[in-house]
Structures are given as structure tokens and as C-alpha cells.
Structure 1
Amino acid sequence: MLYLTWRNVKMEYRIFLDTANIKEIEEALKTGIVTGIATNPNKMAKAGRTYEDVLKDIRSIFDGPVAVEAISTKAEDIINEAQELSSMSENIVIKIPANIEGIKAINKLVPMGVKTNATLIFNPAQALAAGLANSPFISPFIGRVNDIGHDGLTLFKQVREIYDFYDINSKVIAASIKNCSEAINAVLNGADSLALTYKVFNQLFEHPLTEIGIKNFTRDYDSIYK
């Protein structure tokens, strides 16, 4: 079953599930609100599988963008690796660090038709560079910015202001999100999309008052009909 097609250019990419665990992907897709999958070498190591194996399974149930990470560090090597990864499956998005070598690579790859996600962004200047290089997606990191004593949400507000001023169309994906509150605040501060772990994704549906309400409704129903 296909849930999404990249060729539908009007489709908005709101939630990327950040995992390489196929069972988690299968469960999350059942909600109908996952519009992309994001992976990286750390996620692959935890799953104990290769990109090829994971992509084969993902493609059997999902036809939207799947982000995989290039690990090369020099522009020419990144370009070669990105082309190889991109050839593995339609709709692959290549995650490339937004340092100078990465921006050089993105600038070359985008005209080739390779879809890129400028990642490991920790300041608005990196986001500006990635946007000017026409990367379709960029990923500023909230949690890791907060971890070093800065404000990840301010980062998103600044990126949105810059992108609106320059009319840059790159999709801003909030990454490194630790909880549901960070996810919502990222959207309120300008993120177009969210990259959520399975744990945080499930937090979108949870609230203790909802559970209390369900129990109360069930109790009242049973008191009448049983």
C-alpha cells in the first residue's frame, strides 16, 4: 500500500518519523499522518541492518521521502556518495552536514536532481547558506542546541525570519526533539516539519485527562447498559 507520492508537489511534509525500526514505522504509518522517514547511521546501528535492507522494507509500505545520511567529509566524496545513495530508490533524500564542504556538495547535487536535507544546523547562518544553496530540506537541531545552553526555539524563529525575508523555499525540519512540548513550540516558532522519534511521535496522542475522560465515559456507560 502506498501512502504518499513525492510527485504530488502540493503535498506538505509535516512529520518525518526518525527511526530505522521497521515495526515502529509500520505502527506509525497506521495513523496516516507520517509523511516522511528519517534515518542516520546511529539509527541503522541500533537496528543492526543496512540501508539497503531497511529501504527495501520501507518501500514495501511507503512511497514518500526517506532521508539517509552521507558520511563522507569532502565535497567531491559527498557528491559521489549522495549519487550512489540516491540511486538506491526513488524519493531518497540525502542528509548532508551544513558545513562548507556540505554546502559545496549541495550546490552541485541539487541541479543534478538529487534531493538534499542540510543537517546538523546549529545557527541561522548555516540555515541561510543551506537555503541559498537551494537544499529542498534543512534540519536545525533543537535538543542539541539546548544541551549547550542556547535556545533552540530562538534558532527556529531566526531561521523563519531570514527565510521569509529572502523568500527561501527550503522546508525547515525541526530535528533533535526531546518531547512533545518542544515539537509544538518548534512549529509555533517557524518549523515547517518535525522529525520525531517513535517515542515523541506517540506523545502527540497522549494526555492524562484524555485517559481519565475515557475511563469516566466507560464507567458511566457501563452503569446504564450493563
Structure 2
Amino acid sequence: MSDAKKLARSALDQLKDVTTVVADTGDFEAMVKFKPTDATTNPSLILAAASMPAYQSLIDEAVSYGKENGKTTEEQLNTAMDKVCINFGMEILKIIPGRVSTEVDARLSFDKNAMVDKAKQLIALYKANGISKDRILIKLSSTWEGIQAAKILEAEYGIHVNMTLIFNFYQAIACGDVKATLISPFVGRIFDWFVKNTDKKTYEPLEDPGVKSVTSIYNYYKKYDYKTVVMGASFRNTGQITGLAGCDLLTISPGLLDQLSKSTDTLKTQLDVEAAKGLDIPKVTVDENTFRWQMNEDAMATEKLAEGIRKFGIDAVKLENLLRERLLN
């Protein structure tokens, strides 16, 4: 191996210089391998991990906790569901130095008060296990109701939120306006929609519709000094990731982390705070009517938000069924 090859840094290490890398997985071994700062989970990731032998103790402990702390089967199930999310979160926090995102059940996505109550329950459960709320991000669907729940949690309870399933510029601005800690725009799912619904099937990284969406949100946030940070999510290829180098955070699956770790291509920073401040971007105001109209006018965002909520809801039901079966045995 040449000296130049030895000295070449991986694309992943170069990315970590300009962006906080987050592991998009429930697999602890992947976190140990790639050393992300933060990690995120959702029912789909936990459901996948729950079928692996290595994680059975976390499932069994949640089931036992549910039996001990619920009177009816439904109470036991709800308690076990919360506890399994906390169990995975606590194991993740042993590995990473930063924060873990824990998701509120997507089936509550249109009930502001239910989302607030569930978030408080999850934070209380973490606290009972010795975990400070500063290391937790509560993940909420970015419906209008979810955004209003975020406003309450951030302002009244000091609970930090991760607004997920972001597909639309105005949706993102509404999240920033309520001072959500973090948003997760879904790059790959935007790309999927355009591939399915238009004649164009491939894109250069900077022309990718998902990359362009996150870039416009990032630039607006930095132009107007929003405190909310942007975490690009849901990637289909490494080009989408490198096209957003410089974004506040990027949450990346183990497969793509592995590809980046093996690449020694030179990485160029694409997003920059000072460059964004120099852009001519008009200020917009987003109230409920504007939000609902802009989402209505954006077929991609409307379809992908609904689909995302449905899919997370389906996996939540599957996880519930798995826990119910064990509770009844």
C-alpha cells in the first residue's frame, strides 16, 4: 500500500469533520463499529431488532415490566411498548456520546394532547432509569397537531423534540417557528416519489429532489438564525449524503455508513452557514391555513407524510402483537 493510500481519510471521517453523523439503526453492533455521535430509533427499527436473538433480553424485560405495572392486558401492553422503546434507548446511550431519538406512536399523529402526554411518559420512564431528558429527543410526526405538541413540549416542559417525516418547505418552517430542537427531512423518500411519478429516474447528487429540499430548508434556517437544526434522513445512496455534507446532522443506515467508511474520495462541503446568510431568500409566515394549503398543493409531501405515518403505525401494531403474545404466555 502506498503512503498516499495510507494517509487518505475515509469519506465517513471527512463527513464527520463538517456534519454530526447519526446512526439510523437499532443494531448496537453497527453503532460500536461506526461510532456515530447520536442515534435514532423508530418502531420499524425496533421491530427488526426484536427478531434478533441478541436483543431478546430487552424484549423479555419489557414484558415483565408490563406485567408488573399494568392491571389490564391493555395497560400491560401499553406499558411494555413504552418500556421496550426505553430499553433500546438506554442500551444505545451506553454506546454513543450524544442523544437518542425515541418515537411517539405514529397512531397518535393527529392528537396533540395524546402526543404531549406520551412524550411526558417516555421522559419520566427514562428519568426513572437514571437518564436525563437532555440526552433524549422525542420523535413526533410533523402533522400540524404534531408541531403544536412540539411547541408545548419545548416551551412548557423543556423536552427536546425531533420532528420526523418532513417533506415540505413550509412544514419545516412551521417546525422551526415553534422552536423544535431538530427536524428530519426525508431525502430518500422524496427521491422515491419523483422516480415513481416522473420520467426522470436518476439524478446527480446536487440535482436530487431530496437533496434540493434539504438544502433549501437548511439555507432558510441559517439565513434567519433558526435554532432548530436540520438532520437529513432516509438516504438511498452515498451521493445523496455527500450532496448534503455540511448539514447539521445526517442520520445514515449501517450499509451506507460502511460504503462511506471504505471510500477515500475527497469530500466537498456543500452546506455552509455563512454562505446561507448571504443568500437572497424571502421570509415566509406559516400559520395553520398556510400549512394545510401548502401541504395540499404538494402531492409528494401529502402522500409521503401519510404513507410514513401508516407504515410506522403498521410496525407499531406488529410490535404490539409480538409483545401481546409474550404477555399472554
Global fold match (TM > 0.5): yes
Query: CA–CA distance in 2 between the matches of 1:56 and 1:192?
Result: 24
* Stretch of structure 1 that moved more, 179-188 or 89-98: 179-188
Query: CA–CA distance in 2 between the matches of 1:122 and 1:56?
Result: 30
Aligned to 1:192: 248
Larger radius of gyration: 2
Change (3 A) 1:118 1:161: same
Change (3 A) 1:77 1:157: same
Structure 1 counterpart of 2:178, which letter? Answer: A
Check conservation: 1:86, 1:93, Cα contact below 8 A. Answer: no
* Stretch of structure 1 that moved more, 64-73 or 47-56: 47-56
Structure with the larger RCO, 1 or 2 (CA within 8 Å, 6+ apart): 2
1:51 Cα deviation after fit: 1.5
- Runs of 5+ in structure 1 lacking a partner? 1-11, 210-226
Structural mapping, 1:157-168, within 5 Å: 157-168=215-226
Identity percentage over the alignment? 27
TM-score (norm 2): 0.55
Aligned to 1:205: 261
Query: CA–CA distance in 2 between the matches of 1:96 and 1:55?
Result: 16
Aligned to 1:92: 136
Structural mapping, 1:15-94, within 5 Å: 15-29=21-35, 34-48=36-50, 49=59, 50-71=84-105, 72-73=108-109, 74-87=111-124, 88=126, 89-90=131-132, 91-94=135-138
Matched, 1:137 2:182: yes
Higher helix proportion: 2
Query: CA–CA distance in 2 between the matches of 1:75 and 1:63?
Result: 31
* 1:98-152 Cα shifts (integer Å, max 9, x gaps): 1111011000000211010111000111110000010111010100001111711
Higher strand proportion: 1
Structure 1 counterpart of 2:20, which letter? Answer: R
Check conservation: 2:19, 2:245, Cα contact below 8 A. Answer: no
- Runs of 5+ in structure 2 lacking a partner? 1-17, 51-58, 60-83, 196-208, 266-329
1:202 Cα deviation after fit: 1.3
SS, match of residue 243 in structure 2 = helix
State how many pairs are aligned.
Answer: 192
Alignment RMSD, CA only? 1.9
TM-score (norm 1): 0.79
